[in-house]
A and B are shown apart, each in its own frame.
Chain A
Amino acid sequence: DVKVTQSSRYLVKRTGEKVFLECVQDMDHENMFWYRQDPGLGLRLIYFSYDVKMKEKGDIPEGYSVSREKKERFSLILESASTNQTSMYLCASSLSGLLVDTQYFGPGTRLTVL
Chain B
Amino acid sequence: GDSVTQMEGPVTLSEEACLTINCTYTATGYPSLFWYVQYPGEGLQLLLKATKADDKGSNKGFEATYRKETTSFHLEKGSVQVSDSAVYFCALRIYNQGGKLIFGQGTELSVKP
User: Interface on A for B, CB 8 Å cutoff?
Assistant: 4, 31, 33, 35, 40-45, 48, 50, 58, 90, 92, 94, 96, 99-108
Contacts and interface: CB of A to CB of B under 8 A. Distances in A.
Contact of A42 (B46, B51, B93, B105): B105
27 contacts: A4-B43, A31-B98, A33-B99, A42-B6, A42-B89, A42-B106, A43-B103, A44-B103, A45-B100, A45-B101, A48-B99, A48-B100, A50-B98, A90-B43, A92-B44, A99-B32, A100-B51, A102-B46, A103-B99, A104-B45, A105-B36, A105-B43, A105-B45, A106-B43, A107-B41, A107-B42, A108-B42
B74 interface: no
B51 A102 contact: no
A60 B4 CA distance: 17
A105 B42 CA distance: 9
Contacts of B99: 31, 33, 48, 50, 94, 96, 101, 103
Contacts of A58: 100
A37 to B, nearest CB: 8
B51 A99 contact: yes
Contacts of B41: 107
